[in-house]
Structure 1
Amino acid sequence: MFTVEQIEAAHSKVKSGADFAAYIQDIKKLGVTSYDVFVADGHSDHYGNNRYKTSSPGNHEFLTIGSSFYSEQFKQGLKDHQQGKTDYASFMKMCAKCGIEKWTVLLDKLTCAYYDSAGNEVLVEEIPL
């Protein structure tokens, strides 16, 4: 199965949201079936077949998640990030301010779902490859 180190090596190639599709392809080849990223500290849980799970440690200072979801601000910030206009740290800060607690990527469905601080799914996007 895959390791945190392999995931981190693949993630190290990501400089902006514009690199996301290549990252997805890389980790799918490793055997990742889905993963969750938690905005507050940046840690992630990666899942594989047969209930395999590995977790990466937090990778930034603790961010307070906003208690309200700001849909339009989030959608604009996400669009900017996907176009390569922001780096990952800026994207995480924007997510926290807009009330995003985590996102979940399902590699078999090629979707990315964003969740607010109440656990509500607020946006699902298809991942273009």
Structure 2
Amino acid sequence: MHPVLNLIQQAKDEQWPFPQTLSRLRDAGVLYYHVTWGDDYKTVFQLTDNTRIEENHPEFDTEVASHYSEQAAKIALHEHQQGKTTYPEWLNEMARAGVNAYRVDANKRTVTYFGINSENYFVEEVPGE
């Protein structure tokens, strides 16, 4: 298994807060990663050495709503940040809000959440260094 995937597993096992996970991924050479769950759940990591790592989880299956609600997505995100939902529950809530992907920029420390249509998105800054 690639060291980045080992790092992700460690973060899950030890329940690191997201800002810590993001810092550790950046330190491991991750420029950004993109997560999609419209058809199949997939994560693609882009590293500083031009390596791309793909991780697929076909067992995760959710239907993305055709109607985009930024407000509902932000509520789901806030609930998840407070530890009120698991990651799969959060993804389902985001899908119900019409969100089907997010992109994490490790250097800018931002997460951009995308709806099915390209004009539907919002950006959140991640605290930390």
TM > 0.5:
yes
Instruction: Give 2:68's aligned amino acid.
Output: F
Alignment of 1:90 with 2:89, yes or no, is: yes
Look up the match of 1:25: 23
Identical counterparts, % of pairs: 21
Look up the match of 1:39: 37
How many residue pairs get aligned? The number is: 126
Q: Which runs of 5+ in 2 are unaligned?
A: none
CA 14–75 in structure 1, closer or farther in 2 if over 3 Å, else same: farther
Alignment of 1:52 with 2:54, yes or no, is: no
Determine the C-alpha separation between the residues in 2 that align with 1:43 and 1:32.
Answer: 16
Q: Offset at 1:6?
A: 2.1
Give the number of the structure whose residues are more often strand, by fraction. 2
Look up the SS of the partner of 2:74 in the other structure: helix
TM-score, normalised with respect to structure 1: 0.85
Instruction: Give 2:24's aligned amino acid.
Output: D
Q: Which runs of 5+ in 1 are unaligned?
A: none
Q: Once superposed, which parts of structure 1, at least 4 consecutive aligned residues long, lie more than 4 Å away? A: none
CA 93–14 in structure 1, closer or farther in 2 if over 3 Å, else same: farther
Q: Offset at 1:61?
A: 2.6
Alignment of 1:99 with 2:98, yes or no, is: yes
CA 114–34 in structure 1, closer or farther in 2 if over 3 Å, else same: same
Determine the C-alpha separation between the residues in 2 that align with 1:89 and 1:62.
Answer: 10
Deviations 1:24-64 (A, max 9, x none): 11211211110001123332000012422100112643211
Look up the match of 1:8: 8
Look up the match of 1:62: 61
Instruction: Give 1:8's aligned amino acid.
Output: I
CA 12–127 in structure 1, closer or farther in 2 if over 3 Å, else same: same
RMSD: 2.0
